């Protein structure tokens, strides 16, 4: 079937491959480049949906594996879908559960037909196939669903990787067929294919080309930043982007640090998700334009400054580093919320700045200068 194109490119940077785009979904439009906060279990950890709206988050990410395990996709469907269940009015992208093939390897058995898992919660067995992955995401009401894929471990042999790519392509074809048969695509939902191939250029290219031939609403790059060097990571993105259609969004899954995001935007990537902003917040680490700060460091004990002067979020406008350090050291839960607000805003604002510089021109010089400033000092991770 012909998959409708919901993506429009609004501006391009003349000095790089960066582009500013707009993706239309059932629950609103999303300007790209975009960072998507991760709400694996129907919640972005430590913050409310209202806080996310105040931060101007445009779209969030949920996870098929975890939500189907608990509380169950059928229960969520009866509550009106994930948007109603978690009171989030904006777009939602749901991962297929394919990453759990990688992260929960000891609990699964994989065949050409699908993946059998033992629950990490109670040991119960359940099954993910291309067809029921679509059914689950349909029940959740995802604006953007992901195909089932096999994320190869790193390092992996060429033969093992080739087997995984072949399986990924087979499942992508079956997911597309199921989405068409169930009316998922006709009703305005979108389905993204996922390019695999690890660090093998020919396998990445072949996978990207075959997925492009199938025709998806957008294309993701999986198996990125799973242990390979940063040089290999950017090479994988470069090979893949060159083979994907210009008029569809490109999404690198599970990445990364602020400099990595900017470099990938310069390569032509549009969408990102990553747990770093929320995870590091829960450990007392915050992002600034000069690198990260570990608030457990004693030098912040009497520091009257905000985390970042001039940043327009509740945390920076209201609290000193000294107070925030006190919360972190005292193990107060409020620290998780306030630092998460700041870190998410930092990422979302960085994407806003990127779009601005793409639109006005000069993104290349701006992003190289930004990265140089950020990396000029190591931050305080070990403080």
The per-residue pLDDT for range 261-307, each reduced to its tens digit, is: 999 999 999 999 999 999 999 999 999 999 999 999 999 999 999 99
Of 143, 149, 270, 273, the active-site residue reads 273
pLDDT, residue 102, reads 61
Non-local (6+) Cβ contacts of 41 within 8 A are 62, 63, 66, 67, 70
Q: Are 10 and 359 contacting, i.e. CB atoms less than 8 angstroms apart?
A: yes
User: What's 2's DSSP letter?
Assistant: P
Q: Are 212 and 194 contacting, i.e. CB atoms less than 8 angstroms apart?
A: no
Q: Are 62 and 92 contacting, i.e. CB atoms less than 8 angstroms apart?
A: yes
Sheet strands (E) in 189-304: 190-195, 218-221, 250-252, 271-273, 285-288, 291-294
CA nearest neighbour of 178 among 114, 90, 244, 116: 114
* Tokens found for residue 50: 């209202």
d(CA 203, CA 207): 6
273 is catalytic: yes
d(CA 317, CA 324): 12
Of 95, 135, 143, 270, the active-site residue reads 95
Mean pLDDT of 101-129: 80
Non-local (6+) Cβ contacts of 16 within 8 A are 266, 267, 363, 364, 367
Half-sphere exposure of 234 (CA within 13 A, CB side): 12
d(CA 265, CA 367): 9
Mean pLDDT computed over every residue of the chain: 94
* Tokens found for residue 152: 């190869």
pTM of the model: 0.96
Distances (CA, A) of 156 to 27, 223, 307: 39, 11, 42
pLDDT, residue 382, reads 41
The proportion of the chain whose per-residue pLDDT surpasses 70, expressed as a percent, equals 96
Mean pLDDT of 187-206: 97
Non-local (6+) Cβ contacts of 342 within 8 A are 281, 286, 287, 307, 308, 311, 313, 315, 316
Q: What is the dihedral of CA 34, 195, 114, 2, to 10 degrees?
A: 80
pLDDT, residue 126, reads 82
13 is catalytic: no
């Amino acid at each position: 079937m012909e998959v409708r194109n919901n993506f429009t490119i609004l501006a391009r940077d003349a000095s790089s491959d960066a582009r500013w785009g707009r993706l239309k979904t059932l629950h609103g439009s999303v300007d790209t480049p975009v960072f998507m906060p991760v709400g694996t279990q129907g919640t972005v950890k430590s913050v409310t949906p209202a806080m996310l709206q105040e931060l101007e988050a445009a779209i969030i990410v949920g996870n098929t594996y975890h939500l189907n395990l608990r509380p169950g996709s059928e229960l969520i469907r009866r509550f009106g879908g994930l948007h109603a269940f978690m009171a989030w009015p904006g777009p939602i992208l749901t991962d297929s559960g394919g990453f759990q093939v990688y992260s929960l390897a000891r609990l699964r058995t994989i065949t050409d037909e699908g993946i059998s898992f033992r629950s990490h919660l109670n040991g119960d067995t359940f099954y993910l196939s291309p067809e029921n992955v679509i059914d689950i995401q349909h029940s959740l009401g995802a604006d953007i669903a992901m195909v089932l894929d096999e994320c190869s471990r790193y390092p992996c042999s060429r033969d093992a990787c080739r087997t995984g790519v072949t399986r990924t392509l087979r499942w992508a074809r079956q997911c597309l067929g199921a989405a068409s048969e169930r009316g998922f695509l006709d009703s305005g939902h979108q389905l993204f294919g996922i390019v695999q191939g690890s660090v093998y250029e020919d396998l990445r290219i072949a996978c990207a080309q075959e997925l492009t031939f199938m025709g998806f609403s957008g294309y993701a790059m999986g198996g990125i930043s799973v242990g390979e060097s940063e040089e290999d990571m950017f090479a994988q993105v470069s090979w893949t982007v060159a083979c994907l259609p210009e008029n569809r969004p490109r999404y690198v899954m599970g990445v990364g640090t602020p400099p990595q995001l900017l470099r990938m935007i310069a390569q032509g990537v549009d969408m990102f998700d990553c747990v770093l902003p929320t995870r590091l917040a829960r450990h007392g680490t915050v992002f600034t334009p000069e690198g990260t700060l570990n608030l457990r460091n004693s030098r912040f004990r009497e520091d009257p400054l905000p985390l970042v002067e001039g940043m327009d979020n509740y945390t920076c406008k209201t609290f000193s580093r000294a107070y925030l350090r006190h919360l972190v050291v005292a193990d107060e839960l409020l620290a998780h919320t306030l630092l998460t607000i700041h870190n998410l805003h930092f990422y979302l604002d960085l994407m806003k700045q990127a779009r601005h510089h793409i639109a006005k021109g000069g993104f290349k010089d701006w992003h190289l200068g930004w990265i140089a400033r950020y990396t000029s000092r190591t931050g305080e991770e070990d403080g």
